[in-house]
Chains A and B, each alone.
Chain A
């Protein structure tokens, strides 16, 4: 039997085995497991989705948020796309070698520019891989903590080997004059020169060995693809294509099982969520921006995804082994909520959206956390402080435990009585929010806000005792029933009142009123910075003074990242004549103060460094900045505290945007 016949047989067998293993694993992971998940509803907005593919997969846009690693991955990704054709070439070449040892793919196999591109990209991929190896082994950044380093290294070596063997294979074929496109393969030519001195027979052996190494590693890589993080190679395009296009600030409807909300088993997740668990590449960009992780809490969005993925596979493969019984022999029954993902991890999240924002593959980390928190709430598994806050919210409509009748007490010193939006028609209904109404140290700012509104002649009113906590954080804590109750009460009051626009001073209320209060679509919701920006641009608002402060601005999570309101507050700051210096982490990279997601209602626990303190440290490093401007009442509370505890009272002052406006009017 000639070598070429043998080559075909071995290639065929190897292909069958590799494809068989790959197929079986895909079947288990994508068919068996995902079928046990819940339905994900219909997908739509195909135009937007196709655009997403081009921008986020084709142009790898989010990856470039880290410039150099992003560039490296860009080349590896496009290298993979381009060189997949060479892999196809290698496979078919092997299969048909018994009739045509010099098989070349029709059309594309003869296209010179493509060959050039492939040759260059092989080199780029090698450089990128070497860079990535350097990062992984020598630099070993924090974000890889918890990731499977050896898996990553192994795959990098696979890719390196595949590329090098390809170049060797090509180089030798050029030497032996078997490549009509040799002029288009400069890199391969150079590699070929290494072996040019050897005799023809030896070169052929080396060339064919390179071929077998090339094919072999490709097929081994294929079988390994479904395991671990490189599954993203298969799933990522689908993940980005089918990403959630609803407004970020809108949590999907709560799933119910056995008449109760909340996810307590892995199969309670939707199949689209399970796809997310598979797609995590363990890159750790989310971990790097997570305020909970930075403060020393056990929560890492990356580890969360990895644990969910592992648990899904564990439960899945066990079921396939013994489909007739429900006993799981591999591991004793582990509970999803408690064992796989601990209570502490779930409660640590501030829902700041930094993780979801950063992830190049649009993996949603917050939604599964909230889903599991809902189960914890049903079970009553939360600390005493949170229990107290929820009990107060249920009874009094605010977390402070103060009477609902005291909500408007702050209005007493105001000379001109603020209109009651429940009784009179107004243009703007000002939804004040809990903290601004009840927290004693914030009363001054709330009153100042009212004064500013009156001074600029706004026709506004408040809901007085009719207002309840808007429920944004109640929902994110997982108390869906309480959120519904609060929303019902608020909507009843809002529907009976006559007004045109809702304005808020609280970004959390803003988010839920805008995105989650169904039936409210007819009323636009504005943050006061948006309104003031509009008024200033249209000339209706004029400042009499130019404050010369050098300030920095902290983007509130629920205003900035969630709802894209970055420019309005900055315009207002500029309009007051202040000079804005950005902190290193600004706009959609702003670092959360740590109060969101109900964290402000929970016991702090042991923290390495509070997120708010880390942020103040970041701000005081800015030269000459005396004022830390915020646009959220909870931020005022958190940052004023942090300024005190870090001993920076003389360095920097925390001011609400409204204070600048008040001074400049």
Chain B
């Protein structure tokens, strides 16, 4: 079975995010890019399926700063093939453009199953999974937190609110939007990643021309003004605690 995992890098929310001088995009000067958390889960789920069924796992991503480390880490976890996509995305790349370009490349890889993160926090034109599925002519199920392949089918657990699960099955090939892998993404020792750097090869391919139709044009980006910011209590633990006790009394809890 051939599993493809498209992943992407997103801004690390640990850092402060600011808008650039142009006012329509993020300031990239202090931006740290890390793997999209949900794509990390997708890799984990793919590796789990590989461990269970002996599948072949390909991880593919666009070429941004830090991508090599991400790909080698995936290899250290068990990914078989690494592909880096080159192209002109100085000004950023939206999901519609990426999905169209990816579809051309992925079609040639003849996937049985595609796993990708169900969303990324910087998505503005929907998430990549459903778009890619449609361009490839595959059915799509999102918000999946468990998957099992059985013959020509994949059986998934789709998450609904309040902990409800919808168990669905789909005939391969299928694209799944992963919410969570069956176990948290595993840790891989740095020495293993370094070993991969010496032994694995990252293939490079060209994305080709990008067609962004379908994505909105951003007028402006800004940081939300806190309409009403919280009333801040004391910075001293005991004082803050007694202030809270007063608040609880006012609300009738105490």
Interfacial chain A residues near B188, Cβ < 8 Å: 380
Q: Is A298's beta carbon under 8 Å from chain B?
A: no
Interfacial chain B residues near A396, Cβ < 8 Å: 14
CA distance A260 to B199 in the complex (A): 13
Question: How far is the CB of B232 from the nearest CB of chain A, in Å?
Answer: 16
Q: Is A394's beta carbon under 8 Å from chain B?
A: yes
A390 near B191 (CB under 8 angstroms)? no
In the complex, residue of chain B having the shortest beta-carbon distance to the beta carbon of A389: B187
Q: Is B195's beta carbon under 8 Å from chain A?
A: yes
Interfacial chain B residues near A380, Cβ < 8 Å: 186-189
Interfacial chain B residues near A377, Cβ < 8 Å: 187, 189
CA distance A377 to B190 in the complex (A): 10
A382 near B189 (CB under 8 angstroms)? no
A260 near B195 (CB under 8 angstroms)? yes
B14 near A403 (CB under 8 angstroms)? yes
B187 near A390 (CB under 8 angstroms)? yes
Knowing A260-B195, A384-B184, A395-B34 touch, does A481 contact B15 (C-beta < 8 A)? no
CA distance A395 to B66 in the complex (A): 11
Q: Is B193's beta carbon under 8 Å from chain A?
A: yes
Q: Is B194's beta carbon under 8 Å from chain A?
A: yes
Knowing A260-B195, A384-B184, A395-B34 touch, does A482 contact B14 (C-beta < 8 A)? no
CA distance A561 to B227 in the complex (A): 56
In the complex, residue of chain A having the shortest beta-carbon distance to the beta carbon of B188: A380
Question: How far is the CB of B126 from the nearest CB of chain A, in Å?
Answer: 28
A481 near B190 (CB under 8 angstroms)? yes
Q: Is B192's beta carbon under 8 Å from chain A?
A: yes
Interfacial chain B residues near A481, Cβ < 8 Å: 189-194
B190 near A394 (CB under 8 angstroms)? yes
Interfacial chain B residues near A485, Cβ < 8 Å: 190
Q: Is A391's beta carbon under 8 Å from chain B?
A: yes
CA distance A645 to B14 in the complex (A): 32
In the complex, residue of chain B having the shortest beta-carbon distance to the beta carbon of A406: B14
Q: Which residues of A in the span 461-494 have a Cβ within 8 Å of any Cβ on B?
A: 479-482, 484-485
Question: How far is the CB of B179 from the nearest CB of chain A, in Å?
Answer: 18
Q: Is A321's beta carbon under 8 Å from chain B?
A: no
Question: How far is the CB of A468 from the nearest CB of chain B, in Å?
Answer: 13
Q: Which residues of A in the span 28-51 have a Cβ within 8 Å of any Cβ on B?
A: none
Q: Mark A386-424, 1 if CB is under 8 A from B, else 0.
A: 110011001110000111010000000000000000000
Contact of B191 among A387, A402, A405, A480 (CB under 8 A): A480
Interfacial chain B residues near A401, Cβ < 8 Å: 14
Q: How large is the interface on B (under 10, 10 to 19, 20 to 34, 35 or more residues)?
A: 10 to 19
Interfacial chain A residues near B14, Cβ < 8 Å: 396, 401-403
Q: Mark B19-37, 1 if CB is under 8 A from A, else 0.
A: 0000000000010101000
Question: How far is the CB of A399 from the nearest CB of chain B, in Å?
Answer: 13
Q: Is A259's beta carbon under 8 Å from chain B?
A: yes
A382 near B193 (CB under 8 angstroms)? no
- How many residues on the A side are at the interface (Cβ–Cβ under 8 A)? 25
In the complex, residue of chain A having the shortest beta-carbon distance to the beta carbon of B15: A403
- Among the interface residues A391, A394, A479, A480, which one has the most CB atoms of the partner chain B within 10 A? A394
CA distance A211 to B228 in the complex (A): 99
Interfacial chain B residues near A479, Cβ < 8 Å: 189-190
Interfacial chain A residues near B193, Cβ < 8 Å: 481
Q: Is A378's beta carbon under 8 Å from chain B?
A: yes
Interfacial chain B residues near A382, Cβ < 8 Å: 187
Interfacial chain B residues near A482, Cβ < 8 Å: 189-190
In the complex, residue of chain A having the shortest beta-carbon distance to the beta carbon of B198: A259
A378 near B189 (CB under 8 angstroms)? yes
CA distance A471 to B32 in the complex (A): 23
Q: Which residues of A in the span 291-324 have a Cβ within 8 Å of any Cβ on B?
A: none
A391 near B15 (CB under 8 angstroms)? no
Q: Which residues of A in the span 354-393 have a Cβ within 8 Å of any Cβ on B?
A: 377-378, 380, 382, 384, 386-387, 390-391
In the complex, residue of chain A having the shortest beta-carbon distance to the beta carbon of B184: A384
- Among the interface residues A382, A386, A481, which one has the most CB atoms of the partner chain B within 10 A? A481
Q: Which residues of B in the span 168-207 have a Cβ within 8 Å of any Cβ on A?
A: 184, 186-195
Question: How far is the CB of B95 from the nearest CB of chain A, in Å?
Answer: 25
B187 near A391 (CB under 8 angstroms)? yes
Q: Is A261's beta carbon under 8 Å from chain B?
A: yes
Question: How far is the CB of A100 from the nearest CB of chain B, in Å?
Answer: 68
Q: Which residues of A in the span 481-531 have a Cβ within 8 Å of any Cβ on B?
A: 481-482, 484-485
Contact of B192 among A260, A391, A402, A405 (CB under 8 A): A260
Q: Mark A571-613, 1 if CB is under 8 A from B, else 0.
A: 0000000000000000000000000000000000000000000
Q: Mark A642-653, 1 if CB is under 8 A from B, else 0.
A: 000000000000
CA distance A384 to B185 in the complex (A): 10
Interfacial chain B residues near A386, Cβ < 8 Å: 187
A378 near B190 (CB under 8 angstroms)? no
Q: Mark A242-264, 1 if CB is under 8 A from B, else 0.
A: 00000000000000000111000
Q: Mark A182-214, 1 if CB is under 8 A from B, else 0.
A: 000000000000000000000000000000000
Knowing A260-B195, A384-B184, A481-B194 touch, does A405 contact B189 (C-beta < 8 A)? no
Interfacial chain A residues near B187, Cβ < 8 Å: 377, 380, 382, 386-387, 390-391
Interfacial chain B residues near A378, Cβ < 8 Å: 189, 191-192
B191 near A261 (CB under 8 angstroms)? yes
Interfacial chain A residues near B12, Cβ < 8 Å: 403
A259 near B189 (CB under 8 angstroms)? no
CA distance A382 to B188 in the complex (A): 11
Interfacial chain A residues near B30, Cβ < 8 Å: 405
In the complex, residue of chain B having the shortest beta-carbon distance to the beta carbon of A380: B186
CA distance A377 to B191 in the complex (A): 10
CA distance A390 to B12 in the complex (A): 17
Knowing A380-B186, A384-B184, A401-B14 touch, does A260 contact B191 (C-beta < 8 A)? yes
CA distance A377 to B192 in the complex (A): 10
Query: What are the nearest 9 A-B pairs in CB distance?
Result: A481-B190, A481-B191, A387-B187, A482-B190, A380-B186, A377-B189, A403-B14, A378-B189, A380-B187
Which residues from chain B sit less than 8 Å from chain A, CB to CB?
12, 14-15, 30, 32, 34, 184, 186-195
A-B contacts, 19 listed (Cβ < 8 Å): A259-B195, A377-B189, A378-B192, A380-B186, A380-B187, A380-B188, A380-B189, A384-B184, A387-B187, A391-B187, A395-B34, A403-B14, A479-B189, A480-B189, A481-B189, A481-B190, A482-B189, A482-B190, A485-B190
> Other than the known A405-B15, A479-B190, A482-B190, what 19 A-B pairs have Cβ atoms closer than 8 Å?
A260-B192, A377-B187, A377-B189, A380-B186, A382-B187, A390-B187, A394-B190, A395-B34, A396-B14, A401-B14, A403-B14, A403-B15, A403-B32, A480-B189, A480-B191, A481-B190, A481-B192, A481-B194, A485-B190
